[in-house]
């Protein structure tokens, strides 16, 4: 039997290896094949006794990652070798020196970038965040590290079924939070879409299967519609002698799910379930005019929506994406998106960075993707914050739409949508940003927080007296601006702390006390501080006065305090106003512990909701709903601090829940609704508000309920009130605020 299994394993491995060689179109010569074979033999020997959770030989994983890198991203021999060997240094006896000796420094650097060094990291932060930051640092050397990492993550997501449920949820959340946006930013549209869909498969399995099933049911109808819609376009293109290919690209499951939740509409009301893509065979110099010619042909047959025209041919996106998008009205009254692009543009859209570099020499201008990579390198070089802050800043620019603005000299700058005048100032230069006092947008004076729009021309006004301010962080969106402001504030705090240090030194000198770390620690404890720097800052700002020192003795230049009872005014206030821990209980953790907890204000969970616990640093355990807006980020970045939680049946505690209702405005309607809530069901109300506009009312009420059953009964009762059309619990995210845990 064992012999049979070994034979089957060999067949599987050989088939995977041959499949890799077939798709490695940039590794066809004899020397390349020999290097790939050498890497395969080494990995095969290193992983020979290892198996994946699914039971299959481990070597199949690096071969699959190498195949994704070659086939779906279009990488060459060096990347294929790196992908085959990507787990050897971490999981086997092979060292980086061994890799360099056999395959050279480039492959060694790639493997080094891919190897996790968990022991070095600070375990109070997310290990994944540190790994991600380390991975991004390789951008300055070799972006192939990140491309292979994305291939590795894609294969892990494709084979996630064999993992435990909690592992599936962690990996899927992590993928959705960071890796899918990164794939998008590097122009890997196909990989980004698949990562999002696979993440949804594990984070929202029921909704995923429902959308998948609905798409399958309507596939034949959509195919007939696409054929009828494209028929006149095909005839016109054939008549013009244009070489083309037309595809009907279905909308991804994740984007449909997103639309259902964002717009609060059912699947049946989503009409743009697909887009028509016209791919043209064109010489580089004829690409732009040909795309516009085909646009003209399409709009000859179908009426376009002028608000939905997107010209990324003239101004490509920062990830290198180029295409002409228009939305036109079909004969059946449905809007249809049409994408027009060339074969080169299509390859860049699907394979991103690697394809972009293949065509790089043909481009006259510096590519916007080059500019983006340079900005990332710049941010990495100047960012000294911890990994989680770094990722929060970095992610701001990963998945945002872009605007295109101009300097007074007419130079084009690309910024994320929502960027302000201050973001633009830091984009020009750090010193310009730090000394910025205002801006002129299209010759009109605006504040620093003014949000820019595409086409704006901006002139920055500066002053030598200006310094970076903490509130600036509230109205910048680019990672570069945030990083530079934080850096400037740190420098300023160092100056302030230095002044505070001098004050302490003078005080100690007057008391004949030695300025030593031990004596400073005594002072820290006396005032209730965790660090000398914080104490120095507050002394310099006047929040702490050394004149109030009392209850101390001095012996041999050492100061000793009898008791540590004095605290700063701020700390006293914080102590008095601190939230008390509720006495209600939950069943928490695998051992079903009964421990204190707090309900998170960002999602207001109530008994009956699916929940999880999150161990905060300063605030004990906080309970979040599974569908909390912050759940994906918490499970991704802090998986080791997430614990199981479920409700006990409780009737002695009430919880706040918000309900929204709409209907036809009528005399006495408010009285009917409040009567239904208070009298019929004896539910207490905390707040209620109504707005009426053109005969339609929109109302919100915060009620105190015991659990979801209690809430659902109330919703059913309100639906029976005459004039009320819809009643629903306020959706997560509508009023959620992010908590700083």
Q: Is 119 a catalytic residue?
A: no
How far from chain centre, in Å, is Cα 265?
24
Coil, helix or strand for 706?
coil
Q: Are residues 388 and 127 in contact, defined by beta-carbon separation less than 8 angstroms?
A: no
Distance separating alpha carbons of residues 699 and 38, to the nearest angstrom: 69
| Strands 274-280 and 335-342, bridge-based pairing | parallel
- Of residues 595 and 525, more confidence is placed in 525
Tokens 């590519």 belong to 367
Looking at residue 278, its pLDDT comes to: 94
- E strands, 391-527, are 402-406, 412-416, 436-441, 444-446, 458-462
Residue 124 is inside which H or E element, if any? none
- Residue range 489-503: mean pLDDT, rounded: 81
How far from chain centre, in Å, is Cα 73?
22
Q: Are residues 61 and 180 in contact, defined by beta-carbon separation less than 8 angstroms?
A: no
Residue 264 backbone class (left: φ over 0; alpha: ψ -120 to 50; beta: rest)? left
Segment of 98-112, 233-247, 343-357, 615-629 carrying the highest mean pLDDT: 233-247
- Residue range 663-684: mean pLDDT, rounded: 70
* pLDDT band with cut points at 50, 70 and 90 for residue 289: very high
389 CB-near residues (< 8 Å, 6+ apart): 486
* pLDDT band with cut points at 50, 70 and 90 for residue 324: very high
Crossing angle of helices 105-114 and 144-158, in 10° steps, is 50
Crossing angle of helices 144-158 and 165-174, in 10° steps, is 150
572 CB-near residues (< 8 Å, 6+ apart): none
Looking at residue 577, its pLDDT comes to: 38
pLDDT over 70 for what percent of the chain?
Answer: 79
Tokens 């007419």 belong to 410
- Residue range 269-292: mean pLDDT, rounded: 86
Crossing angle of helices 2-23 and 30-46, in 10° steps, is 150
How far from chain centre, in Å, is Cα 207?
21
pLDDT digits (tens, 9 = 90+) for 371-388: 666 666 665 555 555 555
Tell me how many degrees the CA angle 69-74-80 measures, rounded to the nearest 5: 40
Among the ranges given (324-333, 412-421, 564-573, 603-612), the one the predictor scored with the smallest mean pLDDT: 564-573
Per-position DSSP letters for 52-101, written without gaps between them: -TTSSBTTHHHHHHHHHHHHTS---HHHHHHHHTTTHHHHSS--HHHHHH
Q: Is the pLDDT of residue 584 over 60?
A: no
Tell me how many degrees the CA angle 578-579-580 measures, rounded to the nearest 5: 110
In the chain, what's the furthest Cα-to-Cα distance?
Answer: 101
pLDDT digits (tens, 9 = 90+) for 71-90: 888 888 888 988 888 888 88
Looking at residue 290, its pLDDT comes to: 93
Q: Is 350 a catalytic residue?
A: no
Mean pLDDT in the chain? 77
Q: Of these residues, 45, 91, 592, 734, which one is catalytic?
A: 91
Q: Closest by alpha carbon to 350, among 158, 182, 150, 184?
A: 184
Counting beta carbons within 10 angstroms of the beta carbon of residue 633, is it exposed (0 to 12), middle (13 to 18) or buried (19 or more)? Answer: buried
Q: Are residues 655 and 597 in contact, defined by beta-carbon separation less than 8 angstroms?
A: no
Q: Are residues 698 and 726 in contact, defined by beta-carbon separation less than 8 angstroms?
A: no
166 CB-near residues (< 8 Å, 6+ apart): none
Looking at residue 737, its pLDDT comes to: 40
Distance separating alpha carbons of residues 459 and 424, to the nearest angstrom: 9
Q: Please name each of the domains of the chain with its CATH number.
A: 2-203 (1.10.3210.10), 220-362 (3.30.460.10), 577-646 (no CATH), 655-729 (3.30.70.260)
Among the ranges given (77-91, 336-350, 352-366, 401-415), the one the predictor scored with the smallest mean pLDDT: 352-366
Distance separating alpha carbons of residues 458 and 472, to the nearest angstrom: 18
Among the ranges given (147-156, 349-358, 406-415), the one the predictor scored with the smallest mean pLDDT: 349-358
156 CB-near residues (< 8 Å, 6+ apart): 171
Distance separating alpha carbons of residues 57 and 10, to the nearest angstrom: 9
Q: Are residues 552 and 564 in contact, defined by beta-carbon separation less than 8 angstroms?
A: no
Q: Is the pLDDT of residue 10 over 80?
A: yes
pLDDT digits (tens, 9 = 90+) for 395-435: 555 555 677 788 888 777 878 888 899 999 988 888 888 88
Residue 640 CB neighbour total at 10 angstroms? 12
Residue 458 pairs with which residues in a beta bridge? 441
Q: Of these residues, 7, 90, 209, 442, which one is catalytic?
A: 90
- Residue range 236-265: mean pLDDT, rounded: 87
Per-position DSSP letters for 560-573, written without gaps between them: EES------HHHHH
- Residue 177 DSSP code: I
pLDDT digits (tens, 9 = 90+) for 47-76: 888 888 778 888 899 999 999 988 888 888
Q: Closest by alpha carbon to 113, among 92, 84, 143, 93?
A: 143
* pLDDT band with cut points at 50, 70 and 90 for residue 294: very high
Tokens 């999150």 belong to 614
Looking at residue 482, its pLDDT comes to: 85
Looking at residue 575, its pLDDT comes to: 41
pLDDT digits (tens, 9 = 90+) for 20-37: 888 887 777 888 888 989
* pLDDT band with cut points at 50, 70 and 90 for residue 586: low
Q: Is the pLDDT of residue 144 over 90?
A: no
pLDDT over 90 for what percent of the chain?
Answer: 9
Q: Is the pLDDT of residue 651 over 90?
A: no
Looking at residue 580, its pLDDT comes to: 38
Looking at residue 120, its pLDDT comes to: 33
pLDDT digits (tens, 9 = 90+) for 431-489: 888 888 888 888 888 888 888 888 788 888 888 888 888 788 888 888 788 888 888 88
pLDDT digits (tens, 9 = 90+) for 98-142: 888 888 888 888 888 776 433 333 333 445 555 555 556 555 456
Distance separating alpha carbons of residues 397 and 480, to the nearest angstrom: 9
Q: Among positive and negative, which fits the CA dihedral 472, 473, 479, 483?
A: positive
């Amino acid at each position: 039997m064992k012999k049979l299994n070994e034979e089957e394993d060999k067949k599987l491995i050989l088939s995977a290896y041959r499949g890799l060689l077939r798709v490695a179109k940039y590794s066809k010569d004899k020397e390349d094949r020999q290097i790939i074979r050498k890497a395969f033999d080494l990995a095969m020997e290193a992983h020979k006794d290892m198996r994946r959770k699914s039971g299959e030989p481990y070597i199949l994983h690096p071969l699959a990652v190498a195949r994704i890198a070659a086939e779906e991203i279009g990488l060459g021999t060096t990347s294929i070798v790196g992908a085959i060997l990507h787990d050897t240094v971490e999981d086997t006896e092979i060292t980086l020196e061994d890799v360099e000796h056999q395959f050279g420094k480039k492959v060694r650097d790639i493997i080094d970038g891919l190897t996790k060094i968990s022991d070095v990291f600070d375990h109070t932060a997310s290990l994944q965040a540190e790994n991600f930051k380390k991975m991004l640092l390789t951008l300055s050397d070799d972006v192939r590290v990140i491309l292979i990492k994305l291939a590795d993550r894609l294969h892990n997501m494709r084979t996630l079924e064999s993992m435990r449920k909690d592992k599936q949820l962690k990996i899927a959340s992590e993928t959705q939070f960071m890796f899918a946006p990164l794939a998008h930013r590097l122009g890997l549209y196909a990989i980004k879409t698949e990562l999002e869909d696979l993440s949804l498969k594990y984070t929202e399995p029921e909704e995923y299967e429902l959308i998948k099933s609905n798409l399958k049911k309507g596939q034949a109808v959509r195919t007939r519609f696409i054929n009828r819609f494209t028929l006149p376009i095909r005839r016109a293109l054939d008549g013009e002698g244009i070489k083309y290919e037309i595809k009907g690209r279905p909308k991804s499951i994740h984007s449909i799910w997103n639309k259902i939740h964002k717009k609060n509409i059912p699947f049946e009301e989503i009409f743009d379930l697909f887009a028509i893509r016209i791919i043209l065979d064109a010489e580089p110099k004829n690409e732009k005019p040909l795309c516009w010619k085909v646009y003209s042909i399409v709009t000859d047959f179908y009426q376009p929506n002028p608000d939905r025209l997107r010209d990324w041919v003239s101004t490509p996106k920062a990830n290198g994406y180029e295409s002409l998008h228009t939305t036109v009205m079909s004969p059946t009254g449905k809007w249809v998106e049409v994408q027009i692009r060339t074969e080169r543009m299509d390859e860049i859209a699907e394979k991103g960075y690697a394809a972009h570099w293949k065509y790089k020499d043909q481009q006259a201008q510096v590519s916007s993707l080059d500019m983006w990579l340079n900005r990332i390198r710049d941010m990495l070089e100047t960012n000294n914050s911890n990994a989680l802050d770094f990722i929060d800043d970095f992610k701001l620019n990963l998945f945002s739409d872009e605007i295109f603005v101009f300097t007074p000299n007419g130079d084009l700058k690309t910024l994320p949508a929502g960027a302000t005048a201050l973001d633009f100032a830091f984009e020009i230069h750090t010193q310009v940003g730090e000394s910025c006092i205002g801006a002129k947008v299209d010759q009109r004076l605006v504040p620093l927080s003014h949000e820019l729009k595409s086409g704006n021309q901006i002139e920055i006004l500066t002053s030598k007296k200006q310094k970076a301010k903490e509130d600036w962080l509230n109205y910048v969106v680019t990672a570069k601006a945030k990083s530079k402001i934080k850096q400037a504030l740190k420098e300023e705090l160092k100056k302030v702390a230095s002044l505070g240090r001098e004050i302490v030194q003078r005080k100690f000198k007057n008391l004949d006390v030695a300025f030593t770390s031990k004596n400073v620690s005594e002072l820290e404890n006396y005032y209730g501080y965790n660090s000398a720097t914080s104490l120095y800052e507050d002394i310099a700002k006047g929040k702490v006065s050394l004149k109030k020192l009392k209850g101390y003795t001095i012996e041999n230049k050492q100061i000793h305090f009898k008791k540590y009872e004095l605290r700063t005014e701020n700390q006293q206030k914080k102590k008095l106003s601190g939230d008390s821990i509720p006495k209600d209980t939950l069943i928490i953790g695998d051992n079903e512990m009964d421990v204190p907890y707090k309900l998170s204000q960002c999602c207001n969970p109530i008994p009956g909701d699916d929940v999880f616990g999150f161990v905060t640093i300063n605030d004990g355990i906080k309970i979040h709903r599974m569908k909390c807006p912050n759940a994906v980020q918490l499970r991704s970045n802090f998986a080791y601090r997430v614990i199981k939680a479920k409700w006990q049946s409780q009737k002695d505690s009430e919880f706040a829940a918000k309900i929204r209702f709409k209907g036809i405005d009528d005399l006495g309607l408010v009285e009917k609704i409040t009567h239904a809530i208070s009298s019929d069901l004896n539910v207490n109300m905390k707040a209620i508000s109504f707005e009426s506009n053109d005969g339609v009312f929109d109302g919100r009420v915060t009620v105190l309920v015991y659990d979801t059953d209690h809430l659902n009964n109330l919703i059913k009762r309100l639906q029976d009130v005459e004039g009320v059309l819809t009643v629903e619990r306020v959706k997560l995210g509508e009023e959620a605020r992010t908590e700083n845990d």
